[in-house]
Amino acid sequence: MAQATLSIDLDALTANWRALDAKTATETAAVVKADGYGLGAPRVGRALARAGARRFFVALAEEGAALRAELGPGPEISVFSGHMPGDTDMIGDCDLVPMINSIDQMLRHVEALPGRPFGIQLDSGMNRLGMEPAEWAALRDIAMEQNPTLIMSHLACADEPEHGMNPQQLRAFREMTDGLDVPRSLAATGGVLLGPAYHFDVTRPGIGLYGARPFLNAAPVVQLDIPVIQIRDVEPGETVGYGNTWTAERPARIATVAAGYADGIHRIMGPKTVLFAEDVPCPIRGRISMDLIGVEVTELAEVPETLQLLGPGQGVDVLADNAGTIGYEILTGLGQRYHRRYRGG
């Protein structure tokens, strides 16, 4: 079998949720948008619910409807994109809580689903989603009469603790919400780590659950083992892969493994990235292809059946650095071709 195996450690996932929960005195929700950051929202959601998470956030109502089918009634499922045209049946039937982003969404919600729960999303400076201060000032009294279940906003720079944007957004959020008798939420993973002033009533970690920065003490959740299809010896002067970008300077042994950029292993990470045979790092040689990668295994006495791209030797954040991106993009880019194997949970 040439299919690579993406192992997902649900015990590490729930340990990360508990560790982030232990950093606050308030409720810890779980963000499982984008298919649980690429790891599989059904299994991730069920494991977190069993671990005690009672509130989940997704980006789209469609994601919320699918999650409701997995979790059954009970856990609160909130939708960041709010109440869009066409969402009403999903929100109503699947008991979703839209985070209302505008006066238009507010009108749509109270007209289509009067009395049904909703939250409010405010823009405290990121200029992405949520009501602006002036819009909120105009709507606030009417909205409060409808008893929102949560008021939230999102930090733009929480992964940089010293950034002046953090206290600025905190001030803006407080100015818009102080004195209102509604639970509040400002912190994602980065905000949890900024300290109690940012915690309010509900925190919304995502990336930290999945084992990546900025939660530096996170337990690693993913491991990726890629089968070796073929091994060959090359002479000095021979090249490997498309474009002849690597030339052997001495006799070398090359293993061809069965994954590539179609599986989220971006070409740009090739030059800095290794695969591990136990604890021996084996460098990528030549360009990463769509489905194949050349790896130099000259140093190995014996080439194992699989080489490891993600694991103890090289985590999500290292791959992100090698690709000039962030762990979020590595995780959500992991392709659909892997055999996803779940452990624990």
Ligand X SMILES: *Cc1c(COP(=O)(O)O)cnc(C)c1O
- Residue whose CB is less far from ligand X, 15 or 274: 15
Q: Where does this chain touch ligand X (CB under 6 A) — which range of 183-191, 262-270, 275-283, 297-305?
A: 183-191
**Shortest distance, CB of residue 135 to ligand X, whole angstroms?**
18
- Minimum Å gap between C-beta 61 and ligand X is 15
Cα–Cα distances (Å) from 167 to 121, 133, 139, 144, 158, in that order, read 18, 17, 25, 26, 10
Active-site pick, 23, 37, 242, 261: 242
Residue 204 interacts with ligand X (CB under 6 A): yes or no:
yes
By CB under 6 A, is residue 188 in contact with ligand X? Answer: yes
Query: With CB under 6 A as the contact rule, which of the stretches 204-212, 299-307, 315-323, 337-345 interacts with ligand X?
Result: 204-212
Which of 211, 224, 191 lies closest to 14, judged by CA? 211
Q: Which is nearer to ligand X, 159 or 225 (CB)?
A: 159
Work out whether 221 is an interface residue with ligand X (CB under 6 A). no
| Residue 33 is a catalytic residue | yes
Instruction: Report the distance separating Cα 24 and Cα 127, nearest Å.
Output: 27
- Least separation in angstroms between CB 140 and ligand X: 20
Q: In a 3-state reduction of DSSP, which class is residue 204? A: coil
Judge contact between 327 and 317, C-beta under 8 A. yes
Does the protein bind ligand X through residue 80 (CB under 6 A)?
Answer: yes
- Start-to-end Cα distance in the chain: 27
Q: Are 131 and 124 in contact (CB under 8 A)?
A: no
Is 272 tagged catalytic?
A: no
- Report 238-277 residues binding ligand X (CB under 6 A): none
Instruction: Identify which range of 198-206, 277-285, 294-302, 313-321 contacts ligand X by CB under 6 A.
Output: 198-206
- Choosing from 64, 98, 119, 206, the residue that interacts with ligand X (CB under 6 A) is 206
Among 117, 119, 125, 205, binds ligand X (CB under 6 A): 205
Q: Is 189 in the site for ligand X (CB under 6 A)?
A: yes
Question: Taking Cα atoms as reference points, which of 218, 140, 154 lies closest to residue 184?
Answer: 154
Beta strand residue intervals within 258-334, DSSP E: 274-277, 280-285, 293-296, 306-310
Answer yes or no whether residue 55 interacts with ligand X by CB under 6 A. no
The CB density around residue 153, as the number of other CB atoms within 10 Å, is 26
Task: Using CB positions, name the residue nearest to ligand X.
Answer: 206
Residues 33 and 40 sit within 8 Å (Cβ to Cβ): no
Q: Based on the shown chain and the rule CB under 6 A, indicate whether residue 31 belongs to the binding site for ligand X.
A: yes
Is the separation of the CB atoms in 26 and 282 below 8 Å? no
Q: Which is nearer to ligand X, 33 or 83 (CB)?
A: 33
| Token pair belonging to 286 | 């030549």
Active-site amino acid positions: 33, 242
Which residues contact ligand X by CB under 6 A?
Answer: 31, 33, 80, 154, 188-190, 204-208
